[in-house]
Amino acid sequence: MLYKATKAFVLGLDYNMKAWKLANDLWYKAKFRFSNDWKTHVKETAKARRRYLKLFNGLYNYIGDRIDEVAQTQQVVSPSGRIRHFPHHGKDSEGWWHIENAAVNQPIQSFASDVTGSAIVDYEQALLKEHRLSYNDWHSALLTEPWNPLCSPVFNEVHDELDLDMHPETGKKDLEILRDCMSNVRTLKRLVPEFNLKLKVDVQVKDTWI
């Protein structure tokens, strides 16, 4: 319960969830209550929300900047330049709260997809170099015998996760290559030079992907 509540709290506030909605999610979804009295629970949720945003001042400023951006330009732009338009008639527009939340969310989710997209591109290039394969040989093999790949293909992407079907002979090395590509996202850094962090990557190996 505490894990679900913490996750709901952090993700909700990172995307600008307001106190009442957060209190509702904690109460009904996470089964976490600051008090058995609903009004007290909402009040305590609001206090916790203010403390969290005060603690992470950069997040507070980011949220405010995105709301100002969408209010003034009717769009938000991700760090890599991807634009999402939000036509509106000002802050009194119906559903403005949803526009605010989407404007805060879009650059984060968009950049997360840039990370995995960069890693996929970089991985394929590094994989073929490692195993001395041409793009034609690699893609032809995937088309004609997908059940018997020459090395380890990435077969699924879920949010910020990449799933690798590890080849019995090359899998260990291929996994090292993928981890390096996810950590360094070299293609993304060429697109966004100011992004100079090395990412922490968690690797799990399972018997099946289900």
Runs of H (alpha helix) within the chain: 2-14, 19-28, 38-55, 57-73, 96-131, 135-144, 171-184, 186-191
Q: Which residues of the chain have pLDDT under 50?
A: none
pLDDT at position 209 is 67
Please work out, in degrees rounded to the nearest 5, the angle formed at the alpha carbon of residue 130 by the alpha carbons of 129 and 131. Answer: 95
Delimit the CATH 1.10.150.20 region(s) of the chain.
Answer: 2-110
Are the C-beta atoms of residues 152 and 177 closer than 8 Å to each other?
Answer: no
Q: Enter the pTM of the model.
A: 0.82
Residues 73-93: pLDDT tens digits?
Answer: 999 999 999 999 999 999 999
> CA 114, CA 130: separation in Å to the nearest integer?
24
User: 3-class SS at 194?
Assistant: coil
pLDDT at position 140 is 94
Q: Which CATH number fits domain 2-110: 3.30.70.20, 2.30.40.10, 1.10.150.20, 2.60.40.10?
A: 1.10.150.20
User: 3-class SS at 83?
Assistant: strand
